[in-house]
Structure 1
Amino acid sequence: MSAPPEVIDAPDANRYEARFGDTLAGFAQYIRTAELIAFVHTEVDPAFEGQGVGGALVRTSLDAARAAGTQVLAVCPFYTAWIARHPEYQDLLYSKRSRVSD
């Protein structure tokens, strides 16, 4: 198997990008708030399918969310399926927190 892609956060584009050198292999689009990051769409260039690009995007972005203390809303079906197969990341999923009564 070849080397994994480099995955970086591109906040100006609201997405994580996976690259092999200067070539964009895929991206994960997100909407971010102070406490939550919603992953809404993931796309991998067909030329790079089957090379671990999608998994690298998800793992890197979720590790960054964990490090930042940010909850994750997996709107994208790829994220939902990936997290279901990797239970060690399920604790990051957004859950409505209980509110204090007045």
Structure 2
Amino acid sequence: MSEESAEATVARSTDRDRYEITSGDRLAGFTAYVDRGGQRIFFHTEIGEDFGGRGLGSVLIGHALADTREAGLRIVPVCPFVQKYLERHHEVDDVVDKVTPDALAAVRERNG
């Protein structure tokens, strides 16, 4: 699934287990996840320095969370950026799970 706005495109990169946001032909940032047991565990988000302050992080996270819900998965916000987004946006509250030791173990396992 991809979503375009005036300056950015968001797409899921299934081979890299992340959602990416591009501006023009440049990668502006990404949010990485691991899928486990019906959950998509978001653990790291980055927006490039050249792209900060444009709201691209919120566009990226909003799209990623909506896509996760559409896929029938629950959201686990390990990433602090995702946690902050969820404090201000409540559209997916009903599919958000608390961070558990099992979720953290899945992230450690994924990252080696």
TM-score (norm 2): 0.78
Partner of 1:77: 80
CA deviations on 1:30-61 (whole Å, 9 max, x unpaired) are 10135110000000001100111110111111
Give the root-mean-square deviation of aligned CA atoms: 1.8
Distance 2:90 2:71 in 1: 19
SS at match of 1:13: coil
Distance 1:74 1:44 in 2: 17
Where do 5+ consecutive residues of structure 2 fail to align? 99-112
Runs in 1 of length 4+ with deviation above 6 angstroms? none
1:6-45 matches, within 5 Å, as 6-33=9-36, 35-45=38-48
Where do 5+ consecutive residues of structure 1 fail to align? 96-102
Identity of aligned residues (%): 37
Matched positions, count: 95
TM-score (norm 1): 0.85
